[in-house]
Amino acid sequence: MPAKPKDQFTLQNPLTQYPHPPFPAQGQAAPGLDAEMRPKPDHGEHTYKGFGRLAGRRALITGADSGIGRATAIAFAREGADIALNYLPTEEADAREVVALIKAEGRKAVAIPGDLKDPRFCSELVDQAHEQLGGLDILVNVAGKQEARKDIGQITHAQFDHTLKTNVYALFWLCQAAVPLMPAGATIINTASIQSYQPSATLLDYATTKAAIVAFTKALAKQVIERGIRVNAVAPGPIWTVLQPSGGQPPEKIPEFGAQTPMKRPGQPAECAPLYVLLASQESSYITGEVFGVTGGNPLP
């Protein structure tokens, strides 16, 4: 087992920085809890060090209870942002941990549980975040549904509808509600995937939504730059999140998850968060309409 990294700045060999397969066989009912994963993911709880790059900013993050959303929330708080967190009510236990971590940094945490498949809730979520934070400078769309199926005939109408609504419809509804409230200099960060470009046979519906997110990001970026708002996307590869053992991968693939990358391991949520910070900060002021991979060496086209 590799030594736990001290922070994101310590010089380390990325090949040995985090756990490698094989991992214990494991599974959870969706949406799952981080606390039950083996090994537990690194969200930056003990490794992310901030420098005030988002001081005074106000961010809404979906899927903020676990995985990449949780890591992003921790990083944003340590960079000085106040945060509204969205998650499903069944994920309350994980969300409470994130709220405590945000408050430990002296930042405001507004917990707003709810189902993004509901367009009315999406609108209310943006309004509540804007009101309770006193404004909205950053929207980070992370929440997603991924359920592996080996054959197109196994994808039910309900699953297809759920995946499209969670991953694409909600993205549209949230952006539609947020853009009129955001000032010049605000940013929107979407979460695509390497599946947008290199789809797996078992992730037919999920890959379809992630390709849509790439197109949506590029088109919206062209539309809202006239308002001074930038839109970009992060496209992760195999990341060790609870999405994987709770149905996102076939159970037999979990022990070797990430082994197919050049780094021979999955990425950790904490390895994605710095890119979200960059795209949220003024340091990326000349970047919009772009998609950035975090893939362990499997390059995007």
Query: What is the per-residue pLDDT across 14-33, written as a single tens digit (0 to 9) for each?
Result: 999 999 999 999 999 888 88
The listed range with the strongest mean pLDDT (36-40, 243-247, 279-283) is 279-283
Q: Rounded to whole angstroms, how far apart are CA atoms 262 and 178?
A: 38
Q: CATH number of the domain at 52-294, please?
A: 3.40.50.720
Tell whether omega for the bond before 39 is within 30 degrees of 0, i.e. cis: yes
Q: Rounded to whole angstroms, how far apart are CA atoms 73 and 143?
A: 13
Res. 3: pLDDT tops 60: no
- In this structure, of 60-64, 245-249, 255-259, 264-268, the range with the lowest mean pLDDT score is 245-249
Crossing angle of helices 119-133/170-178, nearest 10°? Answer: 40
- The pLDDT score that the predictor gives to residue 1 is 47
Q: Could you give the percent of the chain with pLDDT greater than 90?
A: 91
The 10 Å Cβ neighbour count of residue 71 is 30
Q: Rounded to whole angstroms, how far apart are CA atoms 258 and 265?
A: 4
**Section 32-56 average pLDDT:** 92
N residues, the chain: 301
Collapsing DSSP states into helix, strand and coil, what is residue 294?
strand
Does this model's pTM top 0.85? Answer: yes
- The pLDDT score that the predictor gives to residue 33 is 81
Q: Chain-centre distance of CA 299, in angstroms?
A: 19
What residue type is 256 in one-letter code?
E
| The two structure tokens encoding residue 253 | 């693939």
| The two structure tokens encoding residue 8 | 């994101």
Res. 287: pLDDT tops 90: yes
- The pLDDT score that the predictor gives to residue 4 is 58
**Tokens 């930042």 belong to which residue?**
107
- The pLDDT score that the predictor gives to residue 301 is 87
Which residues belong to the active site?
206
* pLDDT tens by residue, 122-174: 999 999 999 999 999 999 999 999 999 999 999 999 999 999 999 999 999 99
Q: What is the DSSP pairing of strand 109-113 with strand 82-87? A: parallel
Tell whether omega for the bond before 301 is within 30 degrees of 0, i.e. cis: no
Q: Rounded to whole angstroms, how far apart are CA atoms 81 and 77?
A: 5
Res. 5: pLDDT tops 80: no
Domain segments of the chain as ranges: 52-294
- The pLDDT score that the predictor gives to residue 6 is 66
**Dihedral sign of CA atoms 271, 237, 26, 144 in order:** positive
* pLDDT tens by residue, 162-218: 999 999 999 999 999 999 999 999 999 999 999 999 999 999 999 999 999 999 999
